Amino acid sequence: MSATDSQPPRQFASRRLGVLISGRGSNLQALIAAIDRGQLDARIVVVISNRADAGGLDLARGAGIEALVISHRDFATRDDFDARLAQELRDRQVDLICLAGFMRLVGARLLDAFPNAVLNIHPSLLPAFPGVDAQQQALRHGVKVTGATVHLVTGELDAGPIIVQASVPVLETDTVATLSARVLAEEHRLYPEAVRLVLDGRWRIDGRRFMTGA
């Protein structure tokens, strides 16, 4: 391995993260905690919410992170909204974007500005149960195992190359709430791990496959 091989790609050299949220922000909190514990070598430079009432905004501010509200309602088109997000993220030299409960589809204007640099976490074992209410979909379907997935974001909903997954059992006594809590605990472990893997840069995409081997 040459000296350059052992370095992360220039793309991620400064390890600056932007986190996009719409709600309570427990995955944001898990990323903040992993950074504080020294388990994730990165810096969250901005948190952006499309909703002013997102609880994650207070979490961010409490951690001394800049927190912005950019409402999609203030833009005529998705492209305009995405272009504004891309601009704010570029202005802060963000290397990698983490969607963490961000309830908007992201489109080409953002994805083209950050190629292979937008991650999402989803509460199922994709490709099962994409979209909203994944835990309820899993219960209704009657699967015995579900879980969480972190994947690269593409233009297609919850469909990009899978970076890491973790499974959890579905119990006969489960409700949406108990199953969601079990999945969420795995999400909080998984997201920092996925971000670390991506920032370390020793990966490639082969077809749909995210590969870390030689």
Based on its alpha-carbon atoms, the radius of gyration of the chain, rounded to whole angstroms, reads 17
- Closest among 86, 85, 116, 121 to 101, alpha carbons compared: 121
Locate 140 and state its tokens.
Answer: 């209704």
Site map 54..73 versus ligand GRF, x via CB under 6 A: --x-----------------
Interhelix angle 176-200/134-141, nearest 10 degrees:
120
Q: Scan residues 129-148 and list those touching ligand GRF (CB under 6 A).
A: none
- Which residues ranging from 166 to 185 are in contact with ligand GRF (CB under 6 A)? 184
Binding mask 183-202 for ligand GRF (x = CB under 6 A): -x--x---------------
CA proximity to 121, closest of 208, 37, 185, 170 = 185
Spatial neighbors of 72 by CB under 8 A, at least 6 apart, are 50, 78, 81, 104
Quote the least distance from Cβ 20 to ligand GRF, whole Å.
Answer: 11
Task: Examine residue 124 and tell whether it contacts ligand GRF (CB under 6 A).
Answer: no
Q: Which of 122, 141, 151, 188 is catalytic?
A: 122
Sequential DSSP letters for 38-49:
TSS--EEEEEEE
25 contacts ligand GRF (rule: CB under 6 A): yes
- We find the least distance from the C-beta atom of residue 1 to ligand GRF, in angstroms, to be 35
Please identify, using beta-carbon distances, which residue of 21 and 163 lies nearer to ligand GRF: 21
- Minimum CB distance to ligand GRF, residue 21 (Å): 6
Point out the residue whose Cβ comes nearest to ligand GRF.
101
User: Is 24 a binder of ligand GRF (CB under 6 A)?
Assistant: yes
DSSP 10: G
- In the annotation, is 122 catalytic? yes
CA distance to 37, 48, 51, 148, 179, per residue, from 67 (Å): 22, 6, 11, 26, 30
Q: Could you tell me the two tokens for 9?
A: 């790609």
Which residues in this chain contact ligand GRF in the complex, by CB under 6 A?
A: 21, 23-27, 56, 100-101, 121-123, 184, 187
User: Which residues are part of the catalytic machinery?
Assistant: 122
